[in-house]
Chains A and B, each alone.
Chain A
């Protein structure tokens, strides 16, 4: 088995895969109707077909192309099509059936205003809306529907790759969702991406003998890097299905592990609960999952219970508890930069609940001690990165003290695209502020919470300010008097969204109308489902000393109110 050599630009990896692995399986795309297999040769021929189309449309090296496509093999071809010609691709979330078309168009407008793509490719249903969205811009991007199936000469594209593209240049972008996420096009240079892939692949023990099985969407960093670019650049075959297919029938994923001898996957925590709860053991008769050597749980807080639920549910079919791994990182560090050691379940750290919440000290206690609570380890740093825990004044803290997690090293983004102001704010004396709170014990990182009020639902980042912007426009809600926050739902293994708004009307029917309007708008404008919409009289919400709505203080107030009600009942 060959180990791919070290490259300096993504095109060199393409050259290696195309010349040395032409006939090996690169991609299997499972859809509800069919299964298609592509060798590296076939894969790059399709990618070259896209490069030809892009060139005919006038796209030039260095220019941004935004891909808004339904999950499919074609978006993976188009991405590499752009890379082959030296253009900069970015995959953008497509319209879901719940989201309002007009709001979606406005979101894309915001992205276009900042990122200034030259070309947007999309699917027929969305084309008219997008075409109409940019008519007022001085230099509107071209909007086009590309036809799948075209093939081209990838060798010719590789031979003609522009010399002026250097390893430190931006190779591609990634945007997270929501109005706030869109402001931040995260830039990945050739060099940082390739070095990251080398180091992370080694932490995961990846080899060309592995096979990835995945359903993660590619507009998300774990999907784009974890289950697409990393295995692809490491020469590991990928078997994909769409997230919709997986939600409807998660067994498809297990059947793929069985049929293709799958070895590795990445999933957010909620997916472990979902699969264990959804999949009926009767449907698994004859399935062999023993080839599965690694399930990396990442992108939302890891619950030891979820890991346990999953491994016990699927153990009879060959899934091994030691295949569970945990990883942590941010899109700004390319992706996950801490990993738990291979072949053993993540360490569970039992600490004193009171000491950690009141004094921010992770004091170890026996598992059965009163007031004990557990944190799952996120593992150790991969080589090439440094991490430190600091207090609010920026002073470094010793082991087992909870503070802000800062990182720096070789694998960092090159800044937010066209937003030097945001980039500058993201760093503190050269260290990237991850926004997570955690502690280090015996060299392993434990994440305990977030400094930012970010909500993570099913692995997807939701910015509370985006939801509050929606709430503040709902008739009947006192403008500026609304908060959104997340609370853990243990059964689902992820956070639920709670919103509290102040309203003037005491009328229950009016309040019911407002509540429905809030739910509808949150779904259509922000693509989220609120678990609880709580309407309160004026004056209920707490403001911080700076005059802003204090999300965590209001969450605590709400919890206390609930507890008081329960105590009364």
Chain B
């Protein structure tokens, strides 16, 4: 799980913020907190698809469901479990 958190932290800092040094907390509100915009969720979806080989339907990419790294991790874990 910690690895997953780190993976999201690295991806968001490097690819979305283009500032690899930027520190993000797992429970930090990303979109409502003004760090990334809702268009970036599309890239979050693509990142999940690529990294964990999951198909992310567009309806899951909402601010309510994906505003923190904790939420993103829970989403991926949940999907991976259901896949088994």
Residue numbers of A with Cβ under 8 A of B are: 32, 97-98, 247-249, 274, 278, 458, 492, 512, 516, 518-524, 528-532
* B39 A519 Cβ-Cβ under 8 A: no
Contact check: which of A97, A248, A518 meets B58 at CB < 8 Å?
A248
Whether B34 pairs with A248 at a CB distance below 8 angstroms is no
Contacting residues of chain B (33-84) with chain A, CB-CB under 8 angstroms: 33-39, 42, 58-59, 61-64
Is B63 within 8 A of A529, CB to CB?
no
Complex Cα gap A294–B63 (Å): 33
A-B contact pairs, 9 of them (CB 8 A): A32-B59, A98-B34, A98-B38, A247-B39, A278-B42, A516-B33, A520-B29, A520-B32, A524-B32
**Per-position 1/0 for B7-29, Cβ under 8 A of A:** 00000000001010001000011
A519 and B33 form a contact (CB under 8 A)? yes
Q: Decide if A522 touches B34 in the complex (CB within 8 Å).
A: yes
Grouping DSSP codes into helix (H, G, I), strand (E, B) and loop, the A interface class, with mixed when no group exceeds half, is helix
Question: Is B61 in contact with A529, judged by CB distance below 8 angstroms?
Answer: no
| Nearest Cβ on chain A to B52's Cβ, whole angstroms | 17
Report yes or no: B38 in contact with A247, Cβ–Cβ below 8 A. yes
Q: How far is the CA of A148 from the CA of B32 in the complex (A)?
A: 31
Q: How far is the CA of A124 from the CA of B39 in the complex (A)?
A: 27
Whether B31 sits at the interface, judged by CB under 8 Å, is: yes
Cβ contact within 8 Å between A248 and B61: yes
**Do the beta carbons of B34 and A519 come within 8 Å of each other?**
yes
Residues of B within 8 A of A532 (CB): 19
Residue from the set B17, B23, B29, B33 with the largest chain A CB neighbour count within 10 Å: B33
Q: Are A523 and B33 in contact (CB under 8 A)?
A: yes
Q: A247-B39, A512-B23, A531-B17 are in contact. List 5 more A-B contacts (CB 8 A).
A: A247-B42, A274-B42, A520-B34, A523-B33, A528-B34
Instruction: Provide the main secondary structure of the chain B interface.
Output: loop
Q: Are B35 and A529 closer than 8 Å at their CB atoms?
A: yes
Give the residues in chain A near B62, CB-CB below 8 Å. 248
Known contacts A97-B63, A512-B23; decide if A249 and B58 are in contact (CB<8 Å): yes
Given A248-B58, A248-B59, A248-B61, the answer on whether A98 and B32 have CB atoms closer than 8 Å is yes
Nearest CB in chain A: distance from B9 CB, A: 15
Q: How far is the CB of B71 from chain A (nearest CB, A)?
A: 14
Of all chain A residues, the one with the shortest Cβ separation from B33 is A520
Q: Do residues B58 and A523 form an inter-chain contact, with CB atoms below 8 A? A: no
Which chain A residues border B28 with CB–CB below 8 Å?
516
Q: Find chain A residues with CB under 8 A from B61 CB.
A: 248
Give the distance in Å from the alpha carbon of A519 to the alpha carbon of B35 in the complex: 6
A29 to B83, CA, bound (A): 36
Tell whether, in the assembled complex, residue B38 and residue A523 are in contact, meaning their CB atoms are under 8 Å apart: no
Indicate if the CB atoms of B39 and A274 lie closer than 8 Å.
Answer: yes
If A248-B58, A248-B59, A248-B61 touch, whether A523 touches B39 (CB-CB below 8 Å) is no
A516→B25 CA distance, assembly (Å): 11
Specify the chain A residue showing the minimal Cβ separation from B59. A248
Nearest residue in A to B16 (C-beta to C-beta)? A531
* Distance, CA A524 to CA B61, complexed state (A): 20
**Contact, CB under 8 Å: B31 / A98:** yes
Q: Which single residue of chain B is at the shortest CB-CB distance from A489?
A: B18
A520 contact set on B, CB distance < 8 A = 29, 32-34
Report Cα–Cα, A512/B36, bound state, in Å.
16
For the complex, what is the distance from the CA of A198 to the CA of B61, rounded to whole Å?
A: 41
CB of B21, distance to nearest CB on chain A (Å): 12
Distance in angstroms from A537 CB to nearest chain B CB is: 19
Q: Which residues of B contact A98 (CB under 8 A)?
A: 31-32, 34, 38, 63
Chain B contacts for A97, CB-based, 8 A:
32, 63-64
Q: Which residues of B contact A521 (CB under 8 A)?
A: 34
Given the known inter-chain contacts A247-B39, A248-B59, A249-B58, please indicate yes or no for A523 contacting B23, CB distance below 8 A.
no
Chain A's closest residue to B18 (CB) is A531
Q: Is the CB of A529 within 8 A of B34?
A: yes
Closest CB of chain B to A418's CB: distance in Å? Answer: 33
From A32, A249, A512, A530, B34 is in contact (CB under 8 Å) with: A530
Closest-by-CB residue of B relative to A494 is B39
Contact residues in B for A529 (Cβ distance below 8 Å):
31, 34-37
Distance between A532 CB and nearest chain B CB, rounded to angstroms = 8
CA distance A528 to B36 in the complex (A): 10
